Structure 1
């Protein structure tokens, strides 16, 4: 890139040319050889330096590297001339030999007064100045200014503006100073207009587009930036495709080429991935062997969960190796490594797998060095290692630690590498990270046909004060309710894998289901820890005060007897088992959650409350269709007084679509508004299938069908009395099944996910309150 200047450039090429011509001409005139040709020499005794203002004479002499009094050849003078030019300190250099004197005339480059960037709007000055090497009070260097302009151009290319141009200019100031100005023409964002694949048979283009990071421009291309073309993202996409196919058994998969093609208008790219899938392989025979006398292969084989016929996946092998090496540590077997040995059987497309338990080299971890964490404390990163200084070195354990560091989502980049320490049997682990934003501020709006519009604001910091702690605060307010939550989590309480949680809540409702108000304030500490590879257990305590007030006289007596305040003090536990992200099958997963709460540890409430959820999902039809089934239940057994309406279960649209929040369950038909009472028991089964609807995937629109079946039932006492003159209400609280069927339209927009549910009740009671349409909107900025 040629440098344009606001004023004529300092120096002139013709002057340099005349210097070289003068040297050559002087060489010919000083001595005309009468015999054979020989190199011209000069007897220089003194050096005269002119034109330097800031640069010391001694500095210039050091570049000349000449010895006064000794013979100096023309070649040596030329070398001296080149060294002065390459120093970058002078705009022009002139060497003139005059008898026994060497006259050095120089003109210094000016100093930079200040550095400015003009014309930039998308990227601010602070972001761009970080990539600029030229600084104020430095000597101006044209080559450095050109390099800085290239760096700014690259910064714009990373943000998708590959047509951006940067022109460095200098503006002269007094005292041989200049202002360096980078004039930026940002250009337009170049989008990815189309992503296509060649050679794919097992999976459609639609499915593969969901794998890669590059996205096609959609309806909200002015807002979404994931469709911006970034050249460096192509290499990442290639790796994502390879990981996707390998995890599904395609061991010969290869990306033959990835070609981005600029459109004729130069405003978009077409990206074409030429791939070769190969054949899908499955696991064949699985064995475990060892030549070590202290190792029993059968014990290691027992922890293996791979079965013949399963689709081959490197992730599954890594999981089993981790299990086996963990077993070795539990049995106090140091330096044990598990080496997978694979035998390929092309005839039946299987891979026989042998886990060889061997002894690795006797290497120890000397230390763990952490760099780049400007905010996050060292201990937050260090506790992701199961290895400490002095432990036997286990490469797999170090890789697992690197994965856990990346899973924190505290860093934009994180690299974990090893190098030799102070001795051959010592290893130093280097951790290099780069901080990323971990806080978020969200604003939301939602709409429901029952509750109307509601608004929310939430703040979350996932790395509070760099300690790895979670702090969140949210306020949700609607037409008839307000919910405020404060939550704090310390994930490594007492330096262990023990999460300490503190939660506080304040909720008020105003005639949400009937003509009465409620208020609840609660505080709940908890401890959560792992109990298995995919299971966690949470122990909790909750103390709460709930108040029911402003009950109308025509309300059901079963509700009016709950008027007043009640304190609940309860201990509880929750067991969670989740394989959706860590299971052996990438296309299927199970979530199981079961919990109980025991009230009566003080307070006025005594009951046992049990809730549970079982959810399974699987992708079928070449992973185009997602099938999901869930069964949820709850039961509350009162140990003293009758249950309160604030404690009983309701089936809203979140649990069962097609009905209002108070639309299903026991109801007092003798009351003026047929008041809903809720129930002590509920059970609901939900079945759902999500699938593409044929529209381009960049629109973000998918479809779904669902079937929900469930009921709410059971009261402690169907006759409520409030005073002697109040007649009893008669309520049918028997189990009565309801079911709904419907279809959904899901739209993943830039402003958040939208879901439109259209439903129809198949089985219902006459007094149920149905809802045929429901829309949920949530957004975060």
Structure 2
């Protein structure tokens, strides 16, 4: 038994030793490769790693298989070694003849194709197909469809070819049902929803894409919230989180922004830390237009830094860094120090723009205000990227700064993804002055990629119809000039509502208006315009006053005008503090047969209390229009007060009035003043309902008769007596439209005035 065991051990050892010698010690005398049809044998041998005469081993064989698989040129690889011959058997993947899509209606084939690794003319890779499926899913998620199902199908064809078909079930759009804010004490949810770009899904937003979940857009919303809060005093504001919750049915998202407003600050001491020699700090101080005691505004500080940078660049210091250092925040006061220091001179190499299939390169480049060869300025780049986002032409914007071989040059690579810039709108509304109305409009914000703004539309109501079209060039002559041209055709007839006296004439107008606008300073803008129009007034002689009959006929107005606007409000979106003043002049008489000179002045002041829960608004306006060269100011050019310009009275319900027909004649001078306090009503915040108490005062007067007129001054009322009213209102920000309802009582009036207690106004855009 022992002898038998010894023999078995000796035999086993001999076999193992022989096998080991065979595996490790035999040499390759011949290599054969089979199964390859498109791949050259030399290519396979190159990746194989074996050559004739090499010693064979299992370790080298496994390495050869890994090398061949890593090329992704083969579906299957098998290697055998027998009697000095290395046999390599490969199976090539099919050849992709075509890649197609089925079931996609929301995203076009060419957009999907750009995302694929699988391409016609290349070998089939199942791994690449799985990656392609995930890429397509991600693309649909970006467009708001999270329930998309994609099934890849490989369809065999002749001669070892296949067709790859991605069968897509797009599913419904996954919209955003609710947007909530947590931590906001000074601004209501409804107000903050107007700040963010993301919107709640509603049936009337079927032409928009901002009501779907996009993580990039959410990140942009966080930046918009930060900019808004830091522009109205909240220097420490931050977004803690922005959470998107997908419902279990994958039908909608709920977005919750958790924010921390922090304390509200005013500017304290404002100084400059100038580290440049031979630069007068007092001269730079003149560029600072914020003062101690004003509400903290980060956007204003950034603009000042830009102005200082531009000022120093024009004086031989092109490469510097200027930034505001905010410190010593205490008791609602924060001190600001502008740091000015030298920086290394870096130049812009190439500016590469990708993804703009429609938008012209120059439209994108001009927003950065830099070109190849210019000195590198990070503030210009950040401002340029912000300007691009403000255009709202692009779904995504990604800027990358890449160093080049030259140490003093950086390339700027800009990747954009365009979005639709055209929209069709349908507005419906109602107000007590004109009744119900509807408007169908078309807007193209980036006409054929040039950055021009095109509008056209039609509006109709019970007593009026208008057609209009306009084109705006926001960078006329490649400068910061806005040039616009608008054509219009209107027909209107005034008549009563809620007891209002009939205004018994119709007006038909057709004309053209052009405007040129620019910024004088950051807060002061100037617009110059020219208007030419032809009006036709018509009234039945039997029931109209003699004054009105004398006004009838055709006349042409050719007028030039200007408007200056100075805006010092804390926000142009939701003003809570500050003021805005606007003054305009218009002279008609540059041709035509209608001649007048008109002046108007308008101002608003806002002040908030109790963490912005109470907002006081004071507003006033005044105007004067006079005939030139003996011309009479026509009734269609006169001023009228009433409805929302003087609540408690009907539109045109105060001022000069015919004693016999009771027709309002309008006036050549007017003023109006309003004091209003907005406050919460104590309802749950999500209702978005606030209240208001107000008082309006005003008057309109002045009727200058033509010397040849048969109309006498004792035939109409005309005095400067002040009218006054007081009342309360409710403002309801609904999901569809903001609605305002006011009830006002005249407390000072004339017997012949046309009163109107109830006022309602709303308008929504579909």
Establish whether residue 665 from structure 1 lines up as the match of residue 655 from structure 2: yes
Counting only pairs closer than 5 Å after superposition, residues 60-459 of structure 1 correspond to structure 2 as 60-112=44-96, 114-115=98-99, 128=112, 130-162=114-146, 164-176=148-160, 177-182=162-167, 184=169, 186=171, 189=174, 191=176, 195=180, 197=182, 235-236=219-220, 239=223, 243=227, 246-247=230-231, 283-329=267-313, 331=315, 333-344=317-328, 350-366=333-349, 368-416=351-399, 418-420=401-403, 423-459=406-442
> For the Cα contact (< 8 Å) 2:576–2:615, is it kept in 1?
no
SS in 2 for 1:676: coil
**CA distance 1:416–1:623, shift in 2 (3 Å):** farther
1:435-476 C-alpha deviation (Å, 9 max, x unpaired): 332222223333344534333222222322322222322222
- The residue number in structure 2 matching 1:15 is none
The answer to whether the 8 A contact 1:281-1:312 is kept is yes
Native 8 Å contact 1:557 1:720 kept in 2: no
1:100 Cα deviation from its structure 2 partner: 3.0
Distance 2:614 2:477 in 1: 45
1:516 aligns with 2:493: no
1:545–1:219 CA distance, 2 compared to 1 (3 A): closer
What is the match of residue 720 of structure 2? 735
Quote the Cα distance in structure 2 between the aligned partners of 1:190 and 1:570.
49
Distance of aligned partners of 1:465 and 1:697 in 2 relative to their CA distance in 1, 3 Å threshold: farther
Structure 1's 216 and 195: CA in aligned 2 closer, same or farther, altered over 3 A? farther
Pairwise CA distance, 1:367? 5.6
Q: Is the 8 A contact 1:219 1:699 kept in 2?
A: no
What SS does the corresponding residue of 1:72 show, helix, strand or coil?
A: coil
Say if 1:192 and 1:228, in contact at 8 Å, map to a contact too. Answer: no
* 1:557–1:729 CA contact under 8 A, matched in 2: no
Aligned positions of 1:607-646 closer than 5 A: 607-639=596-628, 640-646=630-636
Structure 2 residue aligned with 1:486: 469
Q: Secondary structure at the match of 1:527?
A: strand
Quote how far apart the aligned CAs of 1:241 are. Answer: 5.5
Q: Match for residue 24 of structure 2?
A: 40
Q: Which of 544, 552, 559 is equivalent to 1:563?
A: 552
Structure 1 residues 431 and 170, CA gap change in structure 2 (3 angstroms): closer
Change (3 A) 1:378 1:116: closer
Normalised to the residue count of structure 1, the TM-score between the two structures is 0.82
Give the match for residue 763 of structure 2: 778
Q: For the residues of structure 2 that align with 1:237 and 1:526, how far apart are their CA atoms?
A: 33
Count residues with an aligned counterpart: 747
Give, in angstroms, the shift of residue 609 of structure 1.
1.0
Find the aligned partners of 2:109 and 2:681 in 1 and give their Cα distance.
45
For structure 2, the 5+ residue unaligned runs are 1-11, 496-501
> Could you give the per-residue CA deviations for residues 472-527 of structure 1, whole angstroms, max 9, x where no partner exists?
22222233322222322223333322333323222222455533332222233333
Partners of 2:204 and 2:440 in 1: CA distance: 24
Q: Which one of the candidate residues 639, 645, 650 is aligned to 1:655?
A: 645
CA contact (8 A) 2:150 2:166 kept: no
Q: Residues of 2 paired with 1:275 and 1:392: CA distance?
A: 38
Q: State the Cα distance separating 1:649 from its structure 2 match.
A: 1.4
Deviations 1:60-92 (A, max 9, x none): 434323213432322222222223334334333
Distance of 2:752 and 2:29 partners within structure 1: 116
Q: Following the alignment from structure 2 to structure 1, what is the Cα–Cα distance between the partners of residues 41 and 246? A: 55
Distance (whole Å) between structure 1 residues aligned to residue 491 and residue 256 of structure 2: 55
How far apart in 1 are the matches of 2:558 and 2:193? 51
In structure 2, C-alpha distance between the alignment counterparts of 1:89 and 1:147, rounded to whole Å = 17
User: Judging changes above 3 Å, is the alpha-carbon distance between structure 1 residues 558 and 234 closer, same or farther for their aligned structure 2 residues?
Assistant: closer
Given that 2:561 and 2:584 are in contact with CA atoms closer than 8 Å, whether structure 1 keeps it comes out as yes
**Structure 1: runs of 5+ lacking an equivalent:** 1-27
TM-score relative to the length of structure 2: 0.84
Q: 1:752 to 1:559 in 2, by over 3 A?
A: same
More divergent stretch after superposition (257-266 vs 410-419): 257-266
More displaced, 236-245 or 731-740?
A: 236-245
Looking at structure 1, the residues matched to 247 and 440 of structure 2 have their Cα atoms a distance apart, in angstroms, of: 43
Post-superposition CA distance 1:111-159 (Å, at most 9, x none): 4465555666766666555534334454332212222222233334435
Partner of 1:12: none
Residues 169 and 183 in structure 1, CA contact (< 8 A), matched pair in contact too: no
**What's the offset of the Cα at 1:216?**
7.1
Distance in structure 1 (CA, Å) of the matches to 2:209 and 2:414? 30
Matched, 1:761 2:746: yes
SS at match of 1:85: helix
* Cα distance between partner residues in 1 of 2:250 and 2:395: 31
Contact 1:112 1:180 in 2 (8 A): no
- Counterparts in 2 of 1:481 and 1:244: CA distance versus 1, 3 Å: closer
